[in-house]
Chains A and B, each alone.
Chain A
Amino acid sequence: MALFTSILALRHDKRILRLPPYLSALCVIIGIGWLLVLPLDEYSRRTYISENAILPGQVHTYFGGSEHNVFRAYRHEVHGLIDKGVAERSERLSAIFHEQNLKVATQHYNYTVSNRTIANENVYAILQGPRADATEAIVLIGAWKNMADEVNNSGVALVLTLARYFKRWSLWSKDIIFLIPGDSTIGPQAWVDAYHDGHDERYVESLKIKSGALQAAVAVDYPAGPWGHRYDKLHVVYDGINGQLPNLDLFNTAVHISSSQMGVGSVIQRMWDHKDTYKDRLQTMLRGMLSQGLGHATGPHSSFIPYHVDAITLVTVGNGYHDEITLGKTLESLFRSLNNLLEHLHQSFFFYLLLQHKRFVSIGTYLPSAMLIAINFSITAMALWVKSGRSPEPIANPASTQPKNPAFKTPAEKQKDAKTAEEEDEKKEKKDAPPRPTTLIEKNGSQSIHPTASTQISERTLLTPLLLLLTAHTIGLLPLYTFNNWHAPALPALYITTANLTTLLPLIISFLLFWNFPTILTPHTLCLLQSFSLLLLGMFLAALATLNFSLSVIVGSVCVPLSFVRRTRHVGLTAAQMLGLALLNPCMVVQMGTKLLGVSLAQVLVQGAVGWHVWGLWTQVVVWLVWFPAWLVGAVVVASGMWE
């Protein structure tokens, strides 16, 4: 009982209110520190094949011999189509598939994004498994152009050769679809949308022939020209749209087959020279997180993953001694493994961070870090909520064992205290110089004296802060709409304007409100506004962490200062805070990010619009409707200090 009352009394302890900023900071530090220990051996695991049915690398591969001659011929054929129009290209590719006795169809797509027309054509052929019943299919993709906009000459030729080779086998238990999309990211999306009947018929043609439920997809990217190119390693790309990942078993199978069976090294996340040191592992993980956080399409496979079709892309990199036959054998072995699947890939992990091609961290291990970062906002929000309920005047600490006013002490205590805390008391009494008003409370005949401030009820006015918060979130819709629909050439200019405008926006808003409605921006309202904003941010990020961990961590990390900025009358402090916040403006962060990564801002913006209209990308929504409003509210709260 005594414990209970002392805990209750703790509620009023002044120290409790001083604690949250430290607690928040601790959460952030642990959260980020958590990420840093993940690459250590103790916190990560070696990958393993979880699904027994796959049996990777257990089959002998027969691709080779005279198939190489056929491959070279097809490579010449594909090379001859590079300068030709889309229609002629589709016709010729269809003809080759047709000669192999496969069922062929084409699909036209025509998107209008940022006032720019993206039109192209997909060609696909279905190999009906002789023993299959049209209920399942696996896809082999060779996009006409790869992510670097080079013609995937050898990749497409390899798909054609493998189609001819696979057709001769009797053992396929699933249909195999050979897909040659017009490009690497939009064509596959159009195709997979139409396959699941989730397409808009204004932009994308419906598929003429279909097979069964897609079980897996493998894309191959090998842009060597008609005279070939010997590569060194296979780059396994696995990030899907919105940071969704394929089943780890598929990735492991590909890595296992390429490295153990074929002797081709595999790399991930563009870490061409991974030495398996702590630094390399961390770098791989951070690159993976960045790619996952951005959520853009990283290859032809990306569009398949949102439909729960596990997919990866194999990209040839470097100069070495492996040729197209090794790649063909890798694909043959991979397809034989996928052919073994009895059920949809489900055994292994869907949420993981890879540190190198054979080491990963599973969700249970890494999730706490994003959660801790998200919780930091919730803690501050709660502290601000409690603070908003307190009277603005300071109250003496009633739970203190050392009452500051010696008048309340018994003579015995006085004597005791006099010796031990004489000096302290003197200092404190100077601070507490004006004695605070007190109130006498009588109940059931007992009396007690309390500081007046603690007995007064300070009412929270919720409507104004809630309306302000809602406005802040609504403002985010404006840039979301404009950036996704503006003309492509004007996008960078629009961006610079938005960046300048948003930096000035907090000052303008707080100034306008301060001069026109001085009653609105009271410290009380601002405190509540910040509290709600942080609460919402914390909730959003915690929810997001389960969907796209990396995006949650990235947004959470750049928002961290928002839980430490406060309104202050100190001009210098306000200016410093404003400067810091201006640097953390989402627009500024994105711009600095593009500079650091060495990509063009215009490209990022155009890709963002493509993502919105074609891929169903959610990153912009998070930026403009979660991050931007939180930043705006924080900045307005700080800026309001300028005008007093």
Chain B
Amino acid sequence: MLSSLFFLLVNAWLVGAAASADYHERLLLRPLPQDTLLASFNFRSNESAAAFEQQNFGYFPRSFGQILQHAHAKELHLRFSVGRWDAENWGQRPWSGGREGGTGVELWAWLEADTEDEAFARWLKLTNALSGLFCASINFIDATKTIRPVMAFAPEGQHSNASRLHLLHGTLPHEVVCTENLTPFLKLLPCKGKAGISSLLSGHKLFDASFQTMAIDVRPTCEEGSATCALEMEQTVDMVLDLARAKRPKDDPIPRPLPIDQLECDTSKPYNAHDSCYPLNKGTQPAWTLEEVFGRPLKGACPLTGQTGDEADNLCINIPPERTVEVKTSGEVSESRLVADTLRCYKLPTGADVDLVLPEQKMATDLVRPKPGVFAARSINGHGQERGSIQAVISNPSTTEAVEIVYLESLPWFMKPYLHTLRARLDTTAESPIKETYYSPAVDRKRGTHLELRLRIPPASTLTLTYDFDKAILRYTEYPPDANRGFDVAPAVIRVLSPQARDHRGIYVRTTSLLLPLPTPDFSMPYNVIILTSTVMALGFGNIFNLLVRRFVAVDEVPITAAGGIKGRVLDKAYRLKALVLGG
């Protein structure tokens, strides 16, 4: 409980440090149980709205700014995610889930437009442009993958003309996020991964993480009581590194069995001998250094960040006070301890490498690990190619407070849910938890299903939500052309309405995506049929063509050859030779 409180204070502190400078970046490290480490990178830049309108972008990346202007996007959120957050072991999500996306790519934006059609046209412009910028298949977010959420998302910024804004949301659960998406992401930063905390970001480590999400958020901010507004762009990268895996050297990443003399054995076991070794569970915090874990050194601070006050603390680590941390640098680093000493922040020097060294240590106190407000899991039940059912289990671990959530499902059109089979059961009471439903049914090949439910879960209760669905049969051209394991269903998005979020980001939980195996025809069969038909066609065509172009001549019409015997043959040869030479 105490650690939760600390965490809330940390959050409050981080949010409170809202920037007045134009550019700000911070890396927050938090060791998690099971020898993992959460690294949250946060980069934030501001530009006044007036300057932005005049295309004076400053720290705001030009390429990105122009796309926003072109598509009339007033607020935009883009997510690239891989892996799963293990809430049971790791506790609450980074940023309370407010900077996280479902597996693959997720994009939602508030676009300014007069009509819905215009908004959709601008949405297509936006997706196509972003697709080019981030080397991702965002352009595949078409009408079937786009929904207009009603309750699940609220604008984070302050909008002056809210009535003309349209919220559109699209997901690509199948998209594989990789290095080609990280490179353009880093290029948007003022220091471009050359200095500052972004110098730690490398594709090798980022995409080896157990959980990883990259987010870009653009929102307008207006200071209260003043008419001057600014456009804030926030880029975040959250990753959970497995320390043992991350510490492996780059040139030898193979996890070979340890040499026998390095293996630590539990000598208390009766059978312990030179050939039997029960791996020792030491119960200590593992040793690690920044450079080991990220595979490259931290190249000081980005010179563009603010140099005073909170702003200057670029590197923070959230650990119990007893943990030893040693800073290794040739420059000057100042340490400040905050939030009852559970947060240590460092002001990084410019132009000097910095490394944090944490030795192996036996700890008396637990790690800082706040509990999440809601647990959620979703799975497909049943088997076979015709139908199935979805089961989502959402639980409220709090013993005192009820939670109110919005549950959003965006399903592909070929998955046809039956709303009359929707059941929401609570294990503690018979009362229906559903307070409000928004449902927009699918239209084949035009629109996906959009389901939003407002649910209330009493304290210490588990909600089980189930519904049945049919699997559609696709046309053969609608299957992906390459080998595939089935179709992915986007993760469900859960927004926690109460208890209320302490910042503008909101509290979100996303489930994992689902695999929907559809009845797949034997594609080799049409292939065989095509080959066979082509052969028959070729034979028929060959014969007819032969008949059409060949000139049939009666035997007596053939010149020369009429004469038989040796004389005839000789004449024939001579004739052919003559024809050959003269080209006749």
Interface residues, chain A, CB within 8 Å of chain B?
53, 62-70, 72-74, 76-77, 99, 101, 103, 128, 130-136, 164-165, 168-170, 196-198, 210, 212-213, 215, 226, 307-308, 341-344, 346
Task: Tell me whether B485 and A136 are in contact (CB under 8 A).
Answer: yes
How long is the Cα–Cα vector from A141 to B275 in the complex, in angstroms?
26
Would B84 and A133 count as touching, CB distance under 8 A? Answer: yes
A134 touches B257 (CB 8 A): no
Which range contains the number of B residues in contact with the other chain? 35 or more
B209 lies within 8 A of chain A by Cβ: yes
Q: How far is the CA of A164 from the CA of B265 in the complex (A)?
A: 15
A76 engages B84 (CB within 8 Å)? no
- Evaluate whether A69 and B277 lie within 8 angstroms (CB atoms) in the complex, with A53-B483, A135-B515, A343-B485 already known: yes
Partner of B257 from the list A64, A73, A198, A308 (CB cut-off 8 Å) is: A64
**Is residue B512 contacting chain A, with contact meaning CB distance below 8 A?**
yes
Can you report 15 residue pairs joining A to B where beta carbons are below 8 Å apart?
Answer: A62-B254, A62-B257, A63-B257, A65-B257, A66-B260, A70-B278, A76-B271, A99-B281, A128-B210, A133-B488, A133-B512, A136-B485, A168-B255, A197-B389, A341-B485
- The answer to whether residues A99 and B83 also contact, given A63-B257, A135-B485 and a CB cut-off of 8 A, is no
Contact A135 B514 (CB under 8 A): yes
B429 interfacial contact with A, CB 8 Å? no
Q: Which residues of A contact B488 (CB under 8 A)?
A: 133, 135
B272: chain A residues at CB < 8 Å are: 73
Q: Of residues B207, B257, B262, B389, which shows the largest number of chain A Cβ atoms within 10 Å of its Cβ?
A: B257
Stretch at the interface among B37-45, B326-334, B378-386: B378-386
Report whether A130 and B209 are in contact in the complex, using a CB–CB cutoff of 8 Å: yes
Docked-complex contact B383 and A72, CB < 8 angstroms: no
Asked whether any CB of chain A lies closer than 8 Å to the CB of B532, the reply is no
Given the known interface contacts A62-B257, A130-B209, the answer about A168 and B277 at a Cβ–Cβ threshold of 8 Å is: no
Which residues on B sit within 8 Å (CB–CB) of A74?
Answer: 278
5 smallest CB-CB distances across A and B, nearest first, come from: A197-B381, A135-B515, A168-B255, A65-B257, A69-B277
Which residue of B173, B209, B259, B383 is within 8 Å of A196 (Cβ)? B383
State the CA gap A342–B520 with chains docked (Å): 14
Contact of A69 among B210, B245, B263 (CB under 8 A): B263
Partner of B277, one of A70, A196, A198: A70
The answer, yes or no, to whether B86 is at the interface (CB within 8 Å) is: yes
- The answer to the question of B513 belonging to the interface, with a C-beta cut-off of 8 Å to chain A, is yes
List the B residue with the shortest CB-CB distance to A95: B281
B115 to chain A: closest CB distance in Å?
37
The CA-CA distance from A128 to B512 in the complex, in Å, is: 12
Residues of B near A68 (CB, < 8 A) are 275
B35 contacts the other chain (Cβ, under 8 Å)? yes
A160 to chain B, nearest CB (A): 11
A307-B260 contact in complex given A70-B279, A133-B513, A134-B512, C-beta closer than 8 Å: no
Contacts A66-B263, A99-B279, A133-B104 aside, 14 further interface pairs with beta carbons under 8 A come to: A62-B257, A65-B258, A65-B259, A67-B257, A69-B276, A70-B278, A130-B208, A131-B83, A133-B512, A134-B512, A135-B485, A135-B514, A197-B382, A210-B377
Q: How far is the CA of A103 from the CA of B156 in the complex (A)?
A: 36
Cα distance, A613 to B1, chains bound together (Å): 49
Report Cα–Cα, A197/B381, bound state, in Å.
6
Report whether over half of chain B's contact residues are helix, strand or loop; otherwise say mixed.
loop
User: What is the chain B residue whose CB lies nearest that of A213?
Assistant: B515
User: In the assembled complex, how far is the CB of residue B282 from the closest CB belonging to chain A, in whole angstroms?
Assistant: 11
**What's the nearest-Cβ distance from chain B to residue A356, in Å?**
27
Q: With a CB–CB cut-off of 8 A, which chain B residues contact A169?
A: 255
Known: A130-B242, A165-B257. A72 touches B276 (CB 8 A): yes
Of chain A, the residue at the smallest CB distance from B277 is A69
Residues of chain B within 8 A of A67, CB atoms compared: 257
Residues of A contacting B520 with CB < 8 Å?
346
Q: Does B253 contact A (CB under 8 A)?
A: yes
Q: Known: A72-B276, A164-B279. Is A128-B257 also a contact (CB below 8 A)?
A: no
Least CB distance, A398 to chain B, in whole angstroms: 48
Among A64, A128, A135, A198, contact of B382 (Cβ-Cβ < 8 Å):
A198
A66/B379 in contact, CB under 8 A: no
**Are B486 and A62 in touch, CB under 8 angstroms?**
no
Chain A's nearest CB lies how many Å from the CB of B568? 54
Q: What CA separation (Å) do A136 and B485 show in the bound complex?
A: 9
Chain B nearest Cβ from A307, distance in angstroms: 5
Q: Which of A77, A215, A342 contacts B484 (CB 8 A)?
A: A342
Query: Please, which residues of chain A bring their CB within 8 A of the CB of B485?
Result: 135-136, 215, 341-344
Q: Which residues in A have their C-beta under 8 angstroms from that of B244?
A: 168
CA distance A346 to B521 in the complex (A): 11
- B82: CB under 8 A from chain A? yes
Interface residue B269 (Cβ < 8 Å from any Cβ of A): yes
Chain A residues with CB under 8 Å of B55's CB are none
* Bound Cα distance from A211 to B484, whole angstroms: 19
Q: What's the nearest-Cβ distance from chain B to residue A72, in Å?
A: 4
- How far does the alpha carbon of A210 sit from the alpha carbon of B377 in the complex, in Å? 9
Is B235 interfacial (CB-CB < 8 Å)? Answer: no
Most buried by B among A62, A69, A342, A344: A69
Instruction: Return chain B residues, CB-CB under 8 Å to A73.
Output: 265, 269, 271-272, 276-279
Question: What's the least CB distance linking A385 to chain B, in Å?
Answer: 38
CB distance from B393 to the nearest CB of A (A): 10
**What separation, in Å, do the CA atoms of A63 and B256 have in the docked complex?**
8
Q: Does B34 contact A (CB under 8 A)?
A: yes
Contact yes or no, A133 B82, CB < 8 A: yes
Query: Quick check: is B236 within 8 A (CB to CB) of the other chain?
Result: no
Chain B, residue nearest A129 (CB): B83
B391 on interface, CB distance cutoff 8 Å: yes
If A133-B82, A197-B382 touch, whether A66 touches B257 (CB-CB below 8 Å) is yes
- Closest-by-CB residue of A relative to B489 is A135
The answer to whether B199 has its CB under 8 Å from any CB of chain A is no
- What are the residues of chain A within 8 A of B242 when measuring CB–CB? 130
Query: Do B35 and A101 touch (CB < 8 A)?
Result: yes
Interface centre among B88, B245, B271, B377 (most CB of A within 10 A): B271
> CB < 8 Å: which of B103, B380, B483 contacts A343?
B483
Q: Is B517 an interface residue (CB 8 A)?
A: yes
Complex contacts, B88 vs chain A, CB 8 Å: 103
Contact with A along B278-302 (1 / 0, CB 8 A): 1101000000000000000000000
Chain A residues, Cβ within 8 Å of B35: 101
Contacts A53-B483, A130-B210, A134-B513 given: A65-B260 contact, CB under 8 Å? yes
Query: A53-B483, A197-B391 are known contacts. Are A131 and B82 too (CB-CB below 8 A)?
Result: yes
The digit string for B415-427, where 1 denotes a CB below 8 A from any CB of A, is 0000000000000
**Chain A residues, Cβ within 8 Å of B515:** 135-136, 212-213
- Asked whether B82 lies within 8 Å of A198 as measured between CB atoms, the reply is no
Contact B207–A131 (Cβ < 8 Å)? yes
Tell me which residues from 172 to 227 in chain B have a Cβ below 8 Å from any Cβ of chain A. 173, 207-210
Question: Which interface residue of B82, B260, B391, B485 has the most chain A CB atoms within 10 A?
Answer: B485
- Roughly how many angstroms separate A169 CA and B255 CA in the complex, as a whole number? 6
CA of A99 to CA of B279, assembled, Å? 9
Chain B residue contacts of A197, Cβ below 8 A: 381-382, 389, 391
| Distance of A383 from chain B, by nearest CB (Å) | 38
Beta-carbon contact of A66 and B277 below 8 Å: yes
Q: Which residue of A lies closest to B257 (CB)?
A: A65
Alpha-carbon gap, A197 to B262, bound state (A): 45
Are A170 and B257 closer than 8 Å at their CB atoms?
Answer: no
Q: Once bound together, how far apart are the Cα atoms of A341 and B253, in whole Å?
A: 23
Name B276's closest neighbour in chain A (CB-CB). Answer: A72
Docked CA distance A136–B515 (Å): 8
State in angstroms the CA–CA spacing of A74 and B377 once bound together: 33
User: Which of B84, B254, B255, B263 contacts A128, CB < 8 Å?
Assistant: B84
Chain A residues within 8 Å of B254, by CB = 62
Q: A62-B255, A66-B277, A136-B515 are in contact. Are A101 and B84 (CB under 8 A)?
A: no
Q: Once the chains are docked, how many angstroms separate the CA of A168 from the CA of B245?
A: 7
Which of chain B's residues have a CB closer than 8 A to the CB of A198?
A: 382-383
Closest Cβ–Cβ distance, residue B171 to chain A (whole Å): 13
Which of B34, B260, B483, B517 sits near A101, CB closer than 8 Å? B34
In Å, the complex CA distance between A307 and B485 comes to: 16
